[in-house]
Amino acid sequence: MPVAPTAESHAPFLMEIIQFKWLMVGAGHRVHVERMQSDRDYAQHCLQLGADARLDSVRHCAHQLARQLGLPQPH
């Protein structure tokens, strides 16, 4: 009998993306979770905004999430 896929296998790093989304709200930016998962250019743009944020927690999360998603590190 096949094992039913878990929510985690369908949405890798979903919790991390949601955490990033709420940190970005605090920094004055909106992040669309589904688009972060499906559009690399959008994800990189959002991560760059996060990397440029004033708050250390947002910058740290942006760099960590880029690494987890296999995207280039924001500058």
Distances (CA, A) of 62 to 5, 6, 34, 41, 58: 28, 25, 17, 14, 6
For residue 2, is it within any domain? no
pLDDT tens series, the chain, 75 aa: 443 334 444 467 999 999 999 999 999 999 999 999 999 999 999 999 999 999 999 999 999 999 999 999 998
63 Cβ partners below 8 Å, 6+ apart? 47, 51, 73, 74
Domain assignment of residue 45, given as a range: 14-69
Closest CA to 23 of 57, 49, 52: 57
How far does the chain reach from its first CA to its final CA, in angstroms?
Answer: 47
For residue 34, is it within any domain? yes
Predicted TM-score (pTM) of the model is: 0.82
Gap between the Cα atoms of 66 and 12, Å rounded: 13
